């Protein structure tokens, strides 16, 4: 069972190491997220997420097992699709940068992190949770489908780390 908490500013070094280690370990993976440290995520993004209380850390015992950002920010392409739930921006949570440390992959950490977000959003009257996944990231797509998310559409989104790439959009109506 994981424990999830909001990151604090003194967690920054651990968070940076976490993402560096994750990105490095995924370089040879068939389903890598294509994140590039310093491009996505940036130091500024991570520090702003900590400051805004939107960066969450998942622990197994004393070990940092996972991290994610949950906020209301989405790419403009999200506005081009027909979502299941008609909601204002502040009524929708967006999951970003959900990652699991290499040593803890395959231990349901990501599933438990998704369950944490779902429960937190239900308690805070959020109407829907949305996210995008690289089209080639089959394990992430399967995870979100098994957690109750619905595939909505496929769109091209430009990110600094991936360029213009196909992404799958998912939504969970709450």
Query: For the chain, what are the domain ranges?
Result: 3-173
What's the fold here for domain 3-173?
Aminopeptidase (3.40.630)
pTM value is 0.96
pLDDT in tens, 59-94: 999 999 999 999 999 999 999 999 999 999 999 999
Q: How far apart are CA 76 and CA 61, in angstroms?
A: 39
Q: State the virtual CA torsion across 57, 62, 64, 70 in degrees, nearest 10.
A: -10
Geometric angle at alpha carbon 158, from 98 and 88, rounded to 5° = 65
Q: Dump pLDDT digits (tens) for 12-71.
A: 999 999 999 999 998 888 777 789 999 999 999 999 999 999 999 999 999 999 999 999
């Amino acid at each position: 069972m994981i424990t999830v908490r909001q990151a604090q500013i003194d967690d920054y070094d651990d968070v940076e190491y976490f993402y560096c280690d994750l990105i490095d370990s995924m370089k040879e993976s068939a389903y890598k997220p294509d994140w590039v440290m310093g491009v996505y995520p940036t130091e500024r993004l991570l520090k702003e997420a900590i400051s805004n209380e939107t960066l969450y850390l998942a622990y197994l015992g004393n070990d940092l097992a996972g991290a994610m950002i949950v906020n209301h920010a989405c790419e403009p392409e999200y506005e081009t699709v027909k979502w299941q739930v008609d909601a204002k921006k502040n009524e929708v949570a967006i999951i970003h940068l959900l990652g699991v440390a290499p040593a803890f992959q395959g231990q349901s950490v990501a599933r438990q992190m998704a369950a944490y977000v779902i429960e937190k959003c239900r308690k805070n009257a959020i109407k829907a949770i949305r996210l995008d996944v690289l089209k080639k990231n089959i394990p992430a797509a399967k995870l979100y489908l098994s957690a109750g998310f619905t595939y909505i559409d496929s769109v091209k989104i430009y990110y600094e780390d991936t360029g213009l790439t196909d992404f799958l959009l998912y939504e969970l109506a709450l």
